[in-house]
């Protein structure tokens, strides 16, 4: 049987970058060492394979990075500042710090149809019972780090009486696009390992109108042979084919932002970390250097051995610096050329230089990721500020937020529409005829006094009607 390379060779480059970005997102130094030190060993001809579920075997990362240096004996001193995690979390907060609005437009019209009102009630129930808001926060944070994320609809009539929106990770998916629209996607995961080489992988293939579940027994880089789903306890009882009842995919890919500068022409979104990996690495190196200065600068006292005392229990020699009365000893004649018998050593701590270096690197990282440094507490002028002043100071962050919001709004409206269709098809509760609208609310609320002042000026200019004034 011919070998089926897995993951497909065409996807290796993207999956390698996903692994790198995921390590930064994790905030775990061990993850960064696994990613970068493996590449270092490969460059030295001593490749230590990263034994993960996907099976990367090359990582084309920049040589000379702090986390890629061969400093095995100093790894306990390597420190990490989770700037990458801060970027991803802030991106999600800018988008979803306020709960979005979900509504059926027809249900809010004058003399609204009862079916539309019932659909709105059902949508509200699904959103509340399945905790859609928390899943959107997860999607936004993952998408910022990995360039995008997937939303998909799940259902099990024996588990919950409504469809459930879930988040799927992009580093466990192989998408197929046509003119920018998702046509097919294969989600995969390793569900078991029998030894260091054998893998059992479950493929969940989403196509229009159906979902296919396939189980394969293979090897680290070989998909292997398809076997029955009942062969494994984790997949026993799953159906080979699930007909959705709707002529559409039950999932959507939501790009973080476009265009993708790393893979021009790709339909995948761009990560906030793309291009700043070296800066993130430099921040950790500067932070580690600062803490190393503190360790080296600890005050030390050097004394001749005849001034040491012997511990009666352990037999070890020590110098008691807290002793109030010292016994006189014959130190010999003193001269101007002699070194003092007791010598103290303490190095300078380059605190200010390190602080400035780290702060400048952090400014660059935030700015190149698309945000204003002040959003992260830098350039803080202090004092109370109006919403208008905050937006002016953090305009770059809000521009990036608005770009991302357009991709999210469109895909989320489609997913909620699909959810209601599935609900009508599988549960018979909704009618699935109405498409919801999503309103992503601003994370910075306008001060009522500012709004009143604006309205007063419009009224003085006679540029606003009574109806509009009342609505505002």
Residue 468's pLDDT is what?
A: 66
429 pLDDT band (50/70/90 cuts)?
confident
pLDDT class for 43, splitting at 50, 70, 90? Answer: very low
Angle between helices 12-26 and 277-296 (to 10 degrees): 40
Cis bond before residue 288 (omega within 30° of 0): no
Q: What is the pLDDT of residues 8-31, one digit of tens each?
A: 888 888 999 999 999 999 999 989
* Burial degree of 121 (CB within 10 A; 0-12, 13-18, 19+): middle
Q: Is the pLDDT of residue 426 over 50?
A: yes
Which DSSP symbol is given to 374? G
Q: 173: which strand partners?
A: 187
Phi and psi, residue 461, nearest 5°: -80, 0
Query: Which pLDDT does position 50 carry in this prediction?
Result: 44
Residue 32 neighbours by CB under 8 Å, 6+ apart? 23, 24, 67, 80, 284
**For tokens 């400014």, what's the residue?**
363
3-state percent breakdown (helix, strand, coil) of the chain, nearest 5? 45, 15, 40
% of residues, the chain, pLDDT over 70:
72
pLDDT score, position 37? 76
Residue pointed to by tokens 């190393």 = 292
Identify whether the C-beta of residue 239 lies closer than 8 Å to the C-beta of residue 202: no
- On whether the CB atoms of residues 39 and 17 are closer than 8 A, the answer is no
Average pLDDT over residues 219-231: 92
pLDDT class of 307 with cuts at 50, 70, 90: low
Element (H, E) at 200: strand 198-207
Tell me the percentage of the chain whose pLDDT exceeds 90: 57
- The encoded tokens of residue 101 equal 């609005």
What are 196's two structure tokens? 């260091």
- Asked if pLDDT for residue 452 goes beyond 60, the answer is no
Q: Are strands 210-219 and 148-154 parallel, antiparallel or unpaired?
A: unpaired
Q: Note the pLDDT of residue 174.
A: 96
Tokens of 174: 């192989």
**Which runs of consecutive H residues, i.e. helices, occur in 47-157?**
83-96, 114-129, 132-146
Preceding omega of 259 cis (within 30 degrees of 0)? yes
Cβ neighbors of 244 (< 8 A, separation 6 or more) are 209, 210, 211, 250, 422, 425
Judged against a pLDDT cut of 50, whether residue 433 lies above it is answered with yes
pLDDT-derived band at 61, boundaries 50, 70, 90: very low
Average pLDDT score, the chain: 82
Lowest mean pLDDT among 56-65, 69-78, 143-152, 266-275: 56-65
pLDDT of residue 193: 85
Q: Any idea what DSSP says for residue 426?
A: I
**Would the pLDDT of 36 be above 70?**
yes
> Using CA atoms, how far apart are residues 6 and 49, in angstroms rounded to an integer?
16
Q: Within 10 A of 333 (CB to CB), how many other CB atoms are there? A: 5
With CA atoms as reference, report the closest residue to 189 among 169, 208, 207, 209: 169
First to last CA, the chain: 70
20 neighbors 14 (Cβ within 8 angstroms) = no
- Give burial (CB, 10 Å; 0-12/13-18/19+) of 184: middle
User: Which span out of 343-357, 399-413, 440-454 was modeled with the highest average pLDDT?
Assistant: 399-413
Examine the pLDDT at 434 and tell me if it is beyond 70.
yes
Higher pLDDT, residue 469 or 295: 295
2 or 276, greater pLDDT: 276
Stretch 406-431: mean pLDDT: 94
Q: Which two tokens stand for residue 446?
A: 């306008």
pTM of the model: 0.80
How would residue 130 be classed by pLDDT, with cut points 50, 70 and 90?
Answer: very high
Is 455 within 8 Å of 468 (Cβ atoms)? no
Range with the poorest average pLDDT among 70-74, 132-136, 157-161: 70-74
């Amino acid at each position: 049987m011919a070998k089926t390379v897995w993951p497909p060779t065409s996807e290796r480059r993207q999956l390698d970058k996903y692994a790198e970005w995921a390590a930064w997102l994790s905030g775990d130094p061990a993850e960064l060492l696994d990613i970068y030190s493996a590449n270092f060993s490969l460059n030295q001809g001593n490749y230590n394979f990263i034994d993960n579920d996907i099976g990367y075997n090359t990582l084309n990362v920049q040589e000379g990075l702090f986390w890629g240096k061969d400093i095995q004996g100093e790894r306990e001193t390597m420190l990490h500042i989770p700037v990458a995690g801060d970027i991803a979390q802030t991106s999600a907060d800018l988008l979803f710090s306020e709960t979005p609005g979900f509504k059926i437009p027809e249900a809010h019209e004058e003399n609204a149809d009862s079916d539309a009102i019932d659909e709105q009630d059902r949508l509200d129930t699904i959103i509340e019972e399945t905790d859609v808001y928390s899943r959107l926060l997860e999607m936004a944070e993952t998408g910022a780090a990995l360039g995008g994320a997937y939303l998909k609809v799940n259902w099990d009539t024996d588990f919950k009486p409504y469809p459930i929106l879930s988040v799927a990770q992009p580093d466990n998916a192989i998408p197929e696009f046509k003119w920018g629209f998702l046509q097919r996607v294969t989600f995969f995961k390793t569900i078991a390992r029998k030894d260091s080489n054998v893998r059992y992988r479950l493929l969940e293939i989403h196509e229009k109108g159906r979902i296919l579940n396939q189980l394969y027994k293979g090897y680290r880089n070989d998909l292997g042979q398809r076997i029955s789903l009942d062969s494994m306890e984790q997949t026993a009882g799953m159906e080979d084919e699930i007909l959705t009842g709707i002529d559409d995919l039950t999932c959507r890919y939501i790009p973080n932002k476009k265009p993708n500068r790393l893979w021009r022409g790709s339909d995948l979104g761009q990560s906030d970390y793309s291009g700043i990996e070296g800066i993130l690495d430099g921040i950790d190196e500067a932070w580690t250097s600062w803490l190393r200065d503190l360790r080296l600068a600890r005050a030390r006292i050097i004394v001749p051995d005849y001034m040491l005392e012997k511990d009666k229990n352990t037999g070890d020699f020590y110098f008691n610096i807290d002793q109030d009365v010292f016994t006189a000893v014959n130190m010999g004649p003193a001269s101007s050329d002699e070194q003092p018998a007791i010598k103290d050593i303490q190095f300078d701590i380059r605190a200010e230089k390190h602080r400035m270096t780290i702060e400048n690197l952090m400014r660059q990282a935030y700015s190149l990721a698309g945000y204003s440094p002040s959003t992260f507490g830098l350039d803080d002028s202090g004092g109370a500020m109006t919403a208008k002043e905050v937006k002016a100071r953090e305009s770059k962050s809000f521009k990036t937020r608005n770009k991302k919001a357009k991709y999210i709004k469109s895909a989320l409206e489609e997913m909620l529409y699909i959810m209601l269709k599935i609900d009508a098809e599988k549960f018979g509760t909704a009618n699935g005829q109405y498409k919801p609208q999503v309103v992503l609310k601003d994370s910075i609320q306008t001060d009522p006094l500012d709004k009143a002042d604006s309205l007063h000026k419009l009224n003085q200019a006679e540029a606003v009607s009574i109806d509009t004034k009342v609505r505002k």
